[in-house]
Amino acid sequence: MGTKQQWDSAVDIYNEGMGEEGDKLNNNLIHPTIRKILGNISNKTILDSGCGSGYFSAEIAKNAKSVIGTDFSGKFIELCQRKYKYIQNLKFQMLDVTEQMPFNTETFDIVISKMVLQYVKDILVFAQEAHRVLKSQGHLIIAIDHPFNTQFYFAQKLTGSNNPKYQTLSHYFDSSAQTKLSLWDKVELTWYPKKIEDYLSPFILNGFCLNSIKEIEEEKQNTLIPRILILDFLK
């Protein structure tokens, strides 16, 4: 099953698990940092790239000038359009992050990509297009699984203690496609391991400056391990 088919089949599970406020991971680790980076967005036009069930797009639309949520799954977009049709400053449309964006140059003040790029094999086109559609001094905010997170489990695998969530887990420098049991251990998804270098280089090479980097920890087995990496780029 391809990546798009995997996500199409997970629409109901994702929507139920996230609800209208997000799950524990988002509420406790991701959202507070993104909100702090966003600051006052009352006059901002925002692109939420990879919006999923749309709950986060709807949340930021409460304070933003306008928000567009995009996703490569038509089923997710249908869900979003049905759920949030009453929000006047929020629109949704189908768009794959590996393709050129159908927006004019310098359209957005902020582009957000939250927990998306680890599922994308090649992020170069996204880096190019994000830079193009952002206004000067615009921000690109990326949240991803920390590349070091799975290495905690890989180290355990080397000692004979396998984590059933990561059946194909490999070392840090292996960028081949892998699978994991995700979405509250209910769906098997394909993901593409990347080094921190792989998340920085495409954006810097396309004209972005790294404004800030946040590494968010999570406690597992009585120790702290890296969980989320949030990058704030400035055009």
Whether residue 86 lies inside any domain: the answer is yes
The predicted pLDDT at position 164 comes to 87
Which is it for the CA torsion 89, 35, 136, 54, positive or negative? negative
**Residue owning tokens 């490569």:** 72
Whether residue 40 lies inside any domain: the answer is yes
Amino acid residing at 172: Y
The predicted pLDDT at position 2 comes to 81
Could you read off the pLDDT of 48-96 as tens digits, one per residue?
999 999 999 999 999 999 999 999 999 999 999 999 999 999 999 999 9
CATH of residue 133's domain is 3.40.50.150
Structural domain boundaries, residue 56: 3-146+193-234
Whether residue 66 lies inside any domain: the answer is yes
Count of structural domains, the chain: 1
Whether residue 16 lies inside any domain: the answer is yes
d(CA 158, CA 144): 25
Whether residue 71 lies inside any domain: the answer is yes
Both ends of the chain: CA-CA distance in Å? 37
Could you read off the pLDDT of 121-150 as tens digits, one per residue?
999 999 999 999 999 999 999 999 999 999
Kind of pairing, strands 223-234 and 178-182?
Answer: unpaired
Whether residue 97 lies inside any domain: the answer is yes
Q: Is the pLDDT of residue 177 over 90?
A: yes
Mean pLDDT of 7-13: 95
Helix (H, G, I), strand (E, B) or coil at 85: coil
- Count of Cβ atoms closer than 10 Å to residue 12 Cβ: 11
Whether residue 178 lies inside any domain: the answer is no
Whether residue 179 lies inside any domain: the answer is no
d(CA 22, CA 217): 18
The predicted pLDDT at position 71 comes to 98
CB 49 within 8 A of CB 68: no
User: 0.85 cut: is pTM over it?
Assistant: yes
